[in-house]
């Protein structure tokens, strides 16, 4: 054997392998980060909507006491979706009552309706929903929007 060849062979065999032992730990850390900072999306939005943009935003606190109402298009018609399913404005008071009964008393007291409505929704529909909410005494209402940076 020539010494040259033997050296070449030795090199090919000892390719250092990357130590992957810490990789799972790293990814788990990222995973836990995401688990903590996010909340599960509870309901599937069945209507298409794009919320307006505003400047004077407040964060919506206390997720347990929030009822979501989505108003948007499905095909050509406007629809109102409450938490999981499509409703008509006249059904809202009964549903609010049911939701309020299911909530813990301290949450029911601060019940907030998060209104996510498409920016082109006619106000007539919004007024109907608001009137229904007034009837059921759900008076805290949050007009959901995306933040426009203040200049």
Residues 6+ apart with CB under 8 A from 88: 80
Tokens of 19: 């130590």
Site membership for other proteins, residue 96 (CB under 8 A): no
10 Å Cβ neighbour count for 131?
A: 13
Site membership for other proteins, residue 149 (CB under 8 A): no
Of 24 and 84, CB closest to other proteins: 24
Binding mask 114-143 for other proteins (x = CB under 8 A): xx-xxxxxxxx-xx--x--xxx-x-xxxxx
Site membership for other proteins, residue 18 (CB under 8 A): no
Residue 81 CB-density burial (10 A; 0-12 exposed, 13-18 middle, 19+ buried): buried
Comparing CA positions, the residue from 140, 134, 130, 115 lying closest to residue 52 is 115
Site membership for other proteins, residue 4 (CB under 8 A): no
Q: How many residues bind other proteins (CB under 8 A)?
A: 52
The interface region with other proteins, picked from 5-13, 21-29, 89-97, 98-106 by CB under 8 A, is 21-29
What is the nearest approach in angstroms of other proteins to the Cβ of residue 7? 25
């Amino acid at each position: 054997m020539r010494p040259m060849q033997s050296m070449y062979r030795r090199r090919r065999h000892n390719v250092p392998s990357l130590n992957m032992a810490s990789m799972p730990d790293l990814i788990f850390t990222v995973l836990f980060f995401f688990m903590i900072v996010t909340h599960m999306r509870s309901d599937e939005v069945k209507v298409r909507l794009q919320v307006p943009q505003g400047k004077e935003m407040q964060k919506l606190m206390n997720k347990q006491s929030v009822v979501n109402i989505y108003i948007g298009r499905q095909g050509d018609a406007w629809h109102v979706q409450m938490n999981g399913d499509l409703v008509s404005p006249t059904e809202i008071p009964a549903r609010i009552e049911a939701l309020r009964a299911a909530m813990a008393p301290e949450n029911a007291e601060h019940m907030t309706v998060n209104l996510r409505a498409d920016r082109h929704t006619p106000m007539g529909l919004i007024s109907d929903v608001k009137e229904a909410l007034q009837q059921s005494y759900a008076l805290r209402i949050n007009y959901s929007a995306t933040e426009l940076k203040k200049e």
